[in-house]
């Protein structure tokens, strides 16, 4: 049975390879010479910080309760925290001297006044089981807790299947964005706030 829950720092080792799926798809030139085990340690350290697990961002996971394995992850944050979260990765990479004293210097991805879904990934062995959809359906509750009313995300032009998935979940294209060497559709979904019912 698959459950969706908020991640904790102990999940970082299982989250890192899932998040790396996205970095692989982005084909960032800066990561070409970085060995996978080194980049995995960077990601793991980031997801062990308070900022990545609730202070500035929300990370939720899909866990296979039979095995205890994290098989899916969604990571996002209010737009105003994007640079703070990128700075954490920069500090980790600088300390490890991964880029010869330089920073990764990622492109800003979020639009203003949105809760940005930075990453969503599912273990390839568990794809096609609706886990990505379950993660997407779980997000509005977390977004409401942060006080935001819009979820935004970017989907690669080269990934029409993902775009269809997001469209089925109520996301609509509102613009385009270049990230690295890829072009992305920026999509948003308004969050319906539930009003109290008075008798």
138-192 per-position pLDDT tens digit: 999 888 888 899 999 999 999 999 999 999 999 999 999 998 888 999 999 999 7
Share of the chain above pLDDT 70, in %: 94
| Mean pLDDT of all residues in 19-24 | 92
Alpha carbons 40 and 101: distance in angstroms, whole number: 19
Q: What is the pLDDT of residue 181?
A: 82
Extract the runs of DSSP E, i.e. beta strands, from 79-129. 115-122
Number of Cβ atoms within 10 Å of the Cβ of 193: 8
In angstroms, the CA 33 to CA 101 distance is 14
Strands 150-156 and 182-190: what pairing?
antiparallel
pLDDT at 102 over 70: no
Task: Of 27-41, 44-58, 92-106, give the lowest mean pLDDT range.
Answer: 92-106
Output the pLDDT for position 193: 64
């Amino acid at each position: 049975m698959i459950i969706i829950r908020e991640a904790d720092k102990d999940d970082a080792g299982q989250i890192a390879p899932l998040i790396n799926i996205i970095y692989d798809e982005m084909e960032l030139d800066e990561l070409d010479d970085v060995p996978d085990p080194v980049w995995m340690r960077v990601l793991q350290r980031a997801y062990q910080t308070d900022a990545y697990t609730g202070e500035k961002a929300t990370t939720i996971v899909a866990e296979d309760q039979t095995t205890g394995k994290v098989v899916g992850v969604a990571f996002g944050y209010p737009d105003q925290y994007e640079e703070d979260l990128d700075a954490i990765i920069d500090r980790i990479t600088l300390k490890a001297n991964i880029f010869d004293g330089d920073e990764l210097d990622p492109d800003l991805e979020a639009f203003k006044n949105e809760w940005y879904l930075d990453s969503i990934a599912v273990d390839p062995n568990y794809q096609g089981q609706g886990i990505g959809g379950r993660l997407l359906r779980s997000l509005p509750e977390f977004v409401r807790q942060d006080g935001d009313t819009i979820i935004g995300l970017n989907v690669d032009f080269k990934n029409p299947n993902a775009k269809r998935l997001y469209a089925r979940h109520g996301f609509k294209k509102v613009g385009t964005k270049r990230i690295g060497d890829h072009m992305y559709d920026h999509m948003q979904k308004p969050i319906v706030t539930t009003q109290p019912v008075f008798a």
